Amino acid sequence: MFVDKAKILIKAGDGGDGAVAFHREKYVASGGPDGGDGGKGGDVIFVADSNLSTLADFRYKRKYEARKGENGQGGRKYGKKAEDLIVKVPVGTIVKEAESGRIMADLSDEKQVIVARGGKGGWGNTHFATPTRQAPRFAKPGLPGEEFEVTLELKLLADVGLVGFPNVGKSTLISVVSQAKPQIANYHFTTITPTLGVVSMGDGVSFVMADIPGLIEGAADGVGLGHQFLRHVERCRLLVHIVDVSGSEGRDPKEDFRIINEELQKFNEELSERPMIVAGNKCDMATDEQIDDFRQFVEEQGYQFFPIMAAIRYDVDPLLKKIIEELSKLPPIKVYEPEPVPELSEEETHGDVTISNREGVFFVEGKWLLRVLRAVNFDDYEGLNYFERLLTKSGVIDKLREAGCQEGDTVCIYDLEFEFVE
């Protein structure tokens, strides 16, 4: 089963909790705190696997969760870092945040990409020892790992995409120029899944061709099967538009050409500007007048025209040579860059917080604060100022004062620790 879109939930591992422990040894009085830190939670890592060709597995397993880091122990023993969760997807898969549509990763090569980061381990009570707090009986819990609902979209990586109405000869062409073996028959929608084939021209010159299932009018709006596969055309550097120039099925070749181009434009405006070569197939069934008339029609619109008979590979080589020539002028296959995390809205920078006082250390917790911490660059002066203003504007500073926090007290907001200043 070919599946090229899926929605799943990914959850990175939580950090392990810090330990509350005290040194116990014979003849050593008041050994002091020696609780170790918790281990980091596992990341969720996506990696492209060239052995996969579909997202079908994600229809049956919807949740992927990495393990939690181990808790710290006495004797200043740190908890073990959890193993990362590796999620394998087909080459060409794009990972998007389901809610916002933000592109998080494009798996166009076999490089690993961390999509959800595991939480940091919590501090053991060793970190909280001071001259005035020599036996702290508290530690930090581990931070929660990132959690996202993501959409996976497979966009095939191909240099050339074959587009056109059903039964015009796209599958026949790719079968005679490559080792691909698509199903071929004399009825519409024989091809119901995209097919990739490597076309070798000798001397180390080759390119990847994709047979896109037939489009019909209204495909961009969901009519027929082609709309499911239009996304696979988006990466193609060059389009080859196959037209039944003989009109053997009672359709007008000119009208077919116009309809397919309109559907490509409706689906993605960029596709209307994508370089295109036109191949008129089934020339053995057309008259010279039909071929010449269609050639003139195509060339008047600025496209190059190649009459072929794909079934017997007649005049296919000139078309392939032209494809190689055009590809040499074009940039590489499009790779989508990850998009930055959008700035939080006014509503998202306010919310409930919980403040607890543990032996003079004030712990502040709130889900929205965790999102803010992940979005702010604390190595940047402007980032620090923004965070300070946000704490004041959202009322966190006032709530700390109400909880009894005074100048010089320690404030912990997850993995951020600072001294309270009035």
Output the DSSP codes for 243-293: EETT-TTS--HHHHHHHHHHHHHHH-GGGGGS-EEEEEE-GGGS-HHHHHH
How, if at all, do strands 410-413 and 361-365 pair?
parallel
d(CA 92, CA 341): 22
How, if at all, do strands 63-65 and 5-11 pair?
parallel
Q: What angle do CA 128, 37, 79 make, to 5 degrees?
A: 165
Look up residue 372 and give its two tokens.
């803010």
Spacing of C-alpha 179 from chain mean position:
30
Residue 71 is predicted with a pLDDT of 95
Is there a shared CATH topology between the 1-154 domain and the 160-327 domain? Answer: no
Helix (H, G, I), strand (E, B) or coil at 162: strand
Burial of 362 (0-12, 13-18, 19+ CB in 10 A): buried
Average pLDDT over residues 385-392: 87
> H/E element holding 391?
helix 381-393
Buried b (16+ CB within 10 A) or exposed e, 323-340: beebeeeeeebeebeeee
* Residue 369 and residue 352 in contact, taking contact as beta carbons nearer than 8 Å: no
Residues 6+ apart with CB under 8 A from 102: 96, 339, 341, 342
- At 159-215, the pLDDT tens digits run 999 988 888 888 889 989 988 775 544 544 444 467 888 898 888 889 999 888 766
- At 244-281, the pLDDT tens digits run 999 887 889 999 999 889 888 888 888 888 999 999 99
Look up residue 71 and give its two tokens.
């808790």
Per mean pLDDT, which range of 12-26, 97-111, 169-183 is the poorest? 169-183
Q: Is domain 160-327 annotated with CATH 3.90.199.10?
A: no
- At 55-86, the pLDDT tens digits run 988 988 999 999 999 999 988 899 999 999 99
Where are the chain's structural domains? 1-154, 160-327, 348-422
Domain 348-422 classification at class level: alpha beta
CATH code of domain 1-154:
2.70.210.12
d(CA 216, CA 102): 30
Residues 6+ apart with CB under 8 A from 233: 161, 163, 210, 212, 239, 264, 267, 268, 271
Look up residue 26 and give its two tokens.
């014979």
Per mean pLDDT, which range of 31-40, 133-142, 227-236 is the poorest? 227-236
Give the residue with greater pLDDT, 349 vs 162.
162
